[in-house]
Amino acid sequence: MTPMTDRSGTGLHAVLVTAFLSTTAFAADPGVTHYSVDPAKSSLEFSFVQAGAQNKGKFTKFPVALDISPDGGAATRLDVTVDMTTYDSGDKDRDDTLRGPDLFSVAKFPQAHFTATQITKTATGFDAVGKLTIRGVSRDQHVPFTFRAANEQGHAVGYLTGKTTLHRLDFGVGQGEWKSTEWVGNDVTVSYNVRLVPAAP
């Protein structure tokens, strides 16, 4: 889908095209595929220790924007918004408590947001570093992920997976009695398994 794949031109022509692309990549983005989330086949889950046992929850609505080169070699944009009201742990009482003012406070802070400021290639995939904002508090956060492009019945799709750990109290998730980590741990493991489909930039 890029001019790079056209090998019929002269060597000089190819060099010129390459030079042209490298200087205009960010302006015109001909070498970037834009992806957005396929909500039906994606998951964003987290787990935390409550009274010695791993408890799980998930969000069901979380728009994702990923820009990555067609060869999967360079990612330039990762932007995730989490609709905090869609939190679901499978238990209404617990969900209501978590959405309440002392924890997620979804009435005041309906969204969490991550935007990468730098995405570097690692041995296994990528490491996105950027600002994560939860409950109105922004912190630097690493979001490591692997990306795999696939072709499914003629449709180009991508899979982004990974997990990261954050500390809930860094974001003020836990006011009043919930500031204590005796019964609900500070560490929260967030795992993401996202199916991406091409999108308009």
Partner 1 sequence: MTIRNTTLRWGSVAQTLHWLIVTLLIVQVVLASLADDLPLGMKKLAMLARHKSVGITILGLAVLRLLWRWLNPTPELPDTLKPYERVLANLTHAALYLLLFAMPLSGWVMSSARGFPVSWFGFIQLPDLVPKNKPLYDAMLETHETLAWTLGAVVFLHVAAALKHHFMLKDNVLRRMLPFTKTR
The window from 2-10, 52-60, 104-112, 161-169 that contacts partner 1 (CB under 8 A) reads 52-60
Question: Does 47 participate in binding partner 1 (rule CB under 8 A)?
Answer: no
Q: Residues with Cβ < 8 Å from 179, sequence gap 6 or more?
A: 169
Question: Does 55 participate in binding partner 1 (rule CB under 8 A)?
Answer: yes
The window from 72-80, 154-162, 182-190, 192-200 that contacts partner 1 (CB under 8 A) reads 182-190
Q: Which residue number, 34 or 179, has a Cβ lying nearer to partner 1? A: 179
The window from 58-66, 121-129, 144-152, 177-185 that contacts partner 1 (CB under 8 A) reads 177-185
In this structure, which amino acid lies at residue 56? K
The structure tokens 């957005």 sit at 36
Residues 74 to 113 in contact with partner 1, rule: CB under 8 A = 89-91, 93-94, 97
Q: Which residue number, 140 or 187, has a Cβ lying nearer to partner 1? A: 187
Cβ contact 148:158 at 8 Å: yes
In this structure, which amino acid lies at residue 176? G
Q: For the chain, how many helices (H) and strands (E)?
A: 2, 11
* Nearest distance in Å: CB 120, partner 1: 35
- Answer positive or negative: Cα dihedral of 34, 37, 41, 46: positive
Q: Which of 184, 190, 194, 196 binds partner 1 (CB under 8 A)?
A: 184
Question: Does 50 participate in binding partner 1 (rule CB under 8 A)?
Answer: yes
The window from 26-34, 51-59, 130-138, 148-156 that contacts partner 1 (CB under 8 A) reads 51-59
Question: Which one-letter DSSP state was computed for residue 22?
Answer: H
Q: Which of 192, 117, 112, 114 has the alpha carbon at shortest distance from 158?
A: 192
d(CA 30, CA 28): 6
Note the residues at the interface with partner 1 (CB under 8 A): 50-56, 89-91, 93-94, 97, 177-178, 180, 182-184
